[in-house]
Amino acid sequence: MHNLFSMTCADLENWLRLSHGKGAFHAKALYHEVMGRGNRDFALHPAFEKSQKLALAVEGSLDVPEARIVETAGTDDSFKFVTALDDGLRIESVILTMESHETLCLSTQVGCRMGCAFCETGTMGLIRNLQPEEMVLQVMAARYQLQRPVRNVVYMGMGEPMDNLDAVLKAVEILSDQRGLNIPLRRQTLSTVGLVPGFKRLASMESMRPLHLSLSLNAASDDLRSELMPVNRAFPLALLKKTLAEYPLPSGGAILLAYVLIPGVNDSREDAMALADFAEGLPVRINLIPYNPGTCGRWPATEDKDIHRFGALLYEKGLFVRKRWSRGREVMAGCGQLGGRPEKDSKEKQEAT
Ligand code: SF4
């Protein structure tokens, strides 16, 4: 059984041609109906209405899954949903309500092996990579099952996207397909802890140029960053800076530097000055994010006044700073709070016993 969510419209066209002797006309109709309009019952589309035999044959060989949403929690500006996958593992996604639109923060792995000290997902270790269709499923669920007008996507949920780059790039391509979900690359942001080979690979792909990148920096001295983010030992700051400086951005483009502000850890004046030094000469914007303690947090939550204070120090150095206020904390949907419970869903548990 082929999964529609693993395909672009062109992939579907190839598959239809090979397996059912049909081509672009039926592919476009089916793809637009399901991926563009959220109607899983494509057999009623005029293109298939006249040939129910074909519709039945396609239905029998093409999986159009529906997300099994097993938990939701939300506030006015932040809504988390948990999806049970076919193997019973769970992933979490968050819809953030912005001023003019909604953004989906989606997961790319079950767990994560990067082990960042401030992150709940990191405590799980890596359980497995997600397939492209499992990333697309999160968008389909948000748009059509939960009826949320998701316009932007950030690969910033559970997992390190560059640690599963083949699958993530396929998902980027599928989400951007104009005949389907139509979320252009400029509305997709890939977040990374700074896996330099991933940057190099993206840099070599002309087609990925409009994709936004966000580097999760969180400290601008190697000692502190290695303590917070073990990956820094493999890819230290000098190498990261060189990589960012050489990255071929589109004209006027910038890379986001995400900085989770942890009280008493990386929020001093010296930390701000080190961050300003790192950013100097780079095409970057800084995104200040409050620390969310989660269930096993080592530090207290960041207060909005600390974000103001730290942001002001960066403004003084002429940096462009975007601040994210503490949202979603109450429902464990804040940054760094996803996951931490590598359990299978109860139905699977019962089946397994
Ligand atoms: S912050 Fe991101 S990369 Fe680091 S452990 Fe958490 S999910 Fe993994």
> Measured in whole angstroms, how far is the alpha carbon of residue 146 from the centre of its chain?
18
Domain boundaries, the chain: 2-63, 68-331
User: What pLDDT, on the 0 to 100 scale, is given for residue 200?
Assistant: 98
CA–CA distance, 238 with 262 (Å, rounded to integer): 23
- CB of 294 shorter than 6 A to ligand 1: no
What are the catalytic residues?
335
In the block, tokens 């502000």 appear at: 261
* pLDDT tens column, 112-124: 999 999 898 889 9
pTM for the whole structure: 0.92
Exposed/middle/buried for residue 42 (C-beta within 10 Å: 0-12, 13-18, 19+):
buried
The pLDDT confidence band at residue 50, using thresholds 50, 70 and 90, is confident
* pLDDT tens column, 51-110: 889 999 999 999 999 999 999 998 878 899 999 999 999 999 999 998 888 999 999 999
**Do residues 324 and 99 touch, judged by C-beta distance below 8 A?**
no
Q: What is the CA(21)–ligand 1 centre distance, in A?
A: 45
- CB of 194 shorter than 6 A to ligand 1: no
Q: Which is nearest to 84 in space by CA: 134, 143, 35?
A: 134
Q: Which is nearest to 302 in space by CA: 265, 272, 273, 339?
A: 265
**Do residues 323 and 286 touch, judged by C-beta distance below 8 A?**
no
Neighbouring residues of 244: CB distance < 8 A, sequence distance ≥ 6 = 199, 215, 255, 282, 283, 284
* CATH top-level class of 68-331: alpha beta
Element (H, E) at 117: none
What's the whole-number average pLDDT of the chain? 91
Q: What is the CA(157)–ligand 1 centre distance, in A?
A: 8
Q: What is the CA(244)–ligand 1 centre distance, in A?
A: 20
In the block, tokens 């493999």 appear at: 234
